[in-house]
Each structure stands twice: as structure tokens, then as C-alpha cells.
Amino acid sequence: MAIFNKNTLAQVSGFDNPILAGELVWNQQTYWNLTFTNSATGLPVNLTGATLNAQIVRRELSNIIDTRNGLTFDIADYNPPPAAIPLTITNIVAASGTCTLVIDASAWSLMSTDTQLEIDAADTVGFSGRVKVSFPVSGTTPADDSIIFLLFLVRSDGVIVL
């Protein structure tokens, strides 16, 4: 798994926002189990009535450098602008504040002929996005959204013929 430079992550999520970042292999399927807790009490956040949504969009990555402090790169909009790709959130256990974010590579529409997937590509494929948990109004507490930013680099495994 890649280690990202803190300044690079701040380009995507800001300085104090949560982010889930990783380096994936083309056509890899994986998942992350997420747990939402109250930062003050450590208790699970009840997700009953909340709406969970996750999506990513292809980005243009350039100037990728592996430094001693982690990967650095510039991130920009991909041209032409692609549509956002919905990700599946499953296994929601509202009372425990848990769910599973699923990465289904077949939904990404990456083709094996994409030059950014070549084994020697200097600038690889990138995606950014977010998990959004929307809590409804509850008594005197107004509606609130909780966001986790997403950042994924996708590389070739060198097995796929490009």
C-alpha cells in the first residue's frame, strides 16, 4: 500500500478532514469496513435514519514522485470530464455505526488499453471522491453531513497485456 505525503492528501481533503487513500491494482476488488464513532465519547454513532452515499470520479494525476515522506503529485480534473461513479455501501449496522465500502473495479470502466495503466507509466490513473453520511434533523439538532474523502491511484499489475 502506498504512503501518501501529507501535503498531497491535503490537496484532496483539506488539513483536518478524514480521508481514505490507497493504491489499487487495475481490476482489483476490495472493501473497507468503516466505523463511525463520536470523537468526544468514543461511542458508536447511530446511523438510524442516515443516508449513506459514496462516489468517485476519474482525475488527472501528474508529477508523481516517491519521496522519503510519501508519494507527492498534482491532481486536476480529467478531460473530458467523466461522470461520477457510484460505489456500493453495504452491511450497514445502524446501531453499531458500521458499514462496508465496496470497490468493484468493473464499475470503473477502465480499459486495458489505457496508456496510464502501462507498467512504465509515469503518471498513473487516479480517482477522488467521498463517502457522505447525511443525518436528518433530530429534535433541536439540525441536519448534518459527515464526509470522508477518497483518493485512489490505480496501477497495472504487469500481468495484463496492454
Distance in angstroms (rounded) separating the CA atoms of residues 142 and 85? 29
Q: Grid coordinates in use for 39?
A: 470523537
Instruction: Note the pLDDT of residue 118.
Output: 73
The bridge status of strand 19-25 relative to strand 144-155 is parallel
The CA distance from 73 to 65, in Å, is 6
What pLDDT score does 36 carry?
93
CB 149 within 8 A of CB 55: no
pLDDT score of 86: 92
What's residue 157's pLDDT? Answer: 74
Amino acid occupying residue 126: G
Kindly report the number of other CB atoms within 10 A of residue 80's CB atom: 5
What is the pLDDT tens value at each position of the chain, 162 positions in all? 466 667 777 767 666 788 888 888 888 889 999 999 988 999 999 999 999 999 999 888 888 877 777 777 888 899 888 889 999 999 999 999 999 999 887 777 777 677 777 777 777 888 899 999 999 998 898 999 999 999 888 877 777 655
Element spanning 19, H or E: strand 19-25
Does domain 6-155 match CATH 2.60.40? yes
pLDDT attached to residue 2: 64
So what's the pLDDT on residue 13?
A: 66
Can you give the residue ranges of every domain in the chain? 6-155
What 3-state class would DSSP assign to 9? helix
